[in-house]
């Protein structure tokens, strides 16, 4: 089961910590089939992936509301892939969905992992954000 409220709360936490408290985005938990279709359409790769991020911008047909000010874009997560990865990494499915949510939002905010230095920076920030969110949620 997906704890939707927790994911939405996490998204707000990430946006606030990244200096974007008024920004909004869409978060979609999808099937492998949809993710493969989107991955093929927008990257040319016909393969499953765990998360896709589509930053909003001029002429962007993916973003649901590209003309809205403060709209960052769309994060699409494959639930079946998150389920597989949770088993591979000994996480709960919810923990994997949280990680992928943070990862996708960081992509919308301009983080990348094409080069090693960028990857280290992004992974470190993901861990900081998740740790902060989980310790905050634990205190409630």
Residue 67 has pLDDT above 90, yes or no: no
pLDDT, position 63:
46
Cα–Cα distance between 7 and 27 in angstroms, integer?
9
- 70-122 pLDDT, tens digit per residue, is 899 999 999 999 999 999 999 999 999 999 999 999 999 999 999 999 999 99
The pTM score is 0.90
Cα–Cα distance between 1 and 89 in angstroms, integer?
18
- 2-39 pLDDT, tens digit per residue, is 999 999 999 999 999 999 999 999 999 999 999 999 99
DSSP for the chain, please give it: ---HHHHHHHHHHHHHHTT-TT-EEEEEEE-HHHHHHHHHHHHS--S--SEEEEE--TT-SSSSSTTSTTEEEEEEEEHHHHHHHHHHHT--HHHHHHHHHHHHHHHHTT---SSHHHHHHHHHHHHHHHHHHHHHHHH-
CATH fold of the domain at 4-135: Collagenase (Catalytic Domain) (3.40.390)
The answer to whether the CB of 24 falls within 8 A of the CB of 72 is yes
């Amino acid at each position: 089961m997906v704890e939707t409220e927790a994911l939405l709360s996490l998204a707000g936490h990430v946006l606030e910590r990244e200096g974007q408290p008024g920004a909004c985005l869409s978060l979609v938990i999808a099937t492998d089939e949809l993710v493969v279709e989107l991955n093929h359409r927008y990257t040319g790769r016909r393969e499953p992936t765990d998360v896709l991020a589509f930053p909003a911008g001029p002429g962007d047909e993916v973003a649901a509301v590209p003309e809205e000010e403060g709209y960052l874009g769309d994060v699409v997560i494959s639930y079946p892939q998150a389920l597989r990865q949770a088993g591979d990494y000994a996480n709960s499915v919810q923990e994997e969905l949280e990680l992928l949510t943070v990862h996708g939002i960081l992509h919308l905010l301009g983080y990348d992992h094409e080069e090693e230095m960028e990857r280290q920076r992004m992974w470190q920030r993901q861990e900081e954000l998740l740790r902060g969110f989980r310790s905050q949620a634990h205190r409630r």
